[in-house]
Chains A and B, each alone.
Chain A
Amino acid sequence: MVKDKEFAVLRQLRGNSRDSLAKISKRTTIPVSTVFDILKKMEKDVITRHVSLIDFSKVGYGIRVLYILRAVAEKQMRDFLMNTENVNTLSFTHEDYFCAECVFRNMKEVRNFKDEIEGIGVFEYNENIITEEVKKEEFCSV
Chain B
Amino acid sequence: MNNKDLEIISHLRQNARMPLTIMSKKTRIPVSTIFGRLKTHADNVIAKHTSLLNFALLGYYARANITIKVDRDDKQIVKEYLTKHQAVNSLYKINNGYDFMIEGVFRQVSDMENFLDELENKFRISDRKSFFIIEDLKREAFLCNPHLAIME
A interface residues with partner B (beta carbon < 8 Å): 1-2, 7, 10, 13-18, 45-56, 58-61, 66, 68, 78, 81-82, 85-95, 97, 99, 103, 126-141
Contact = CB atoms under 8 A, between A and B. Distances in A.
A39 B137 CA distance: 24
B96 A127 contact: yes
A134 B12 CA distance: 22
Contacts of A55: 44-47
A54 to B, nearest CB: 6
Given A85-B142, A93-B64, 13 more contacts: A47-B54, A51-B14, A51-B51, A51-B139, A52-B48, A81-B137, A90-B138, A93-B65, A93-B132, A126-B97, A129-B94, A134-B82, A136-B91
Interface size on B, as a range, is: 35 or more
25 contacts: A2-B58, A45-B54, A47-B51, A47-B54, A49-B15, A50-B52, A52-B12, A52-B16, A60-B151, A66-B94, A66-B101, A88-B141, A89-B139, A90-B137, A99-B65, A99-B131, A128-B94, A128-B98, A129-B94, A129-B95, A130-B101, A131-B92, A134-B83, A135-B90, A139-B53
B29 interface: no
B35 interface: no
